[in-house]
Amino acid sequence: MTEPVSLWVVEFIMDWKPIDTAPFGRNVELAVINGDGEHALTFPCRRTIGGWVNAVTKKQLYFVLPTHWRVWVA
């Protein structure tokens, strides 16, 4: 039998964190702010030395300026 996930773990996963704290080499969900407001990208992203990439296609995200991140839950 598995133990229930504690509330603080759920909150950590779902809470948005400042972009400068994003980990390298892990799938994350990114939030961007544009003229229409704040939006979450619909695909997982990875932070690399060269910037952000789409974790599925491995393509560089040249024109994405994320402001927040959180754990990608697939």
Residue 36 and residue 38: Cα distance in Å, rounded? 7
Please write the tens of the pLDDT for every residue from 2-36.
Answer: 666 666 555 555 799 999 999 999 999 999 988 88
**1 found inside a domain:** no
50 Cβ contact list (under 8 Å, min separation 6): 60
pLDDT at 37: 86
**31 found inside a domain:** yes
Number of domains in the chain: 1
**2 found inside a domain:** no
**24 found inside a domain:** yes
Please write the tens of the pLDDT for every residue from 37-58.
Answer: 889 999 999 999 999 999 999 9
pLDDT at 40: 94
**18 found inside a domain:** yes
Nearest in space to 55 (alpha carbons), one of 27, 23, 21 = 27
pLDDT at 39: 92
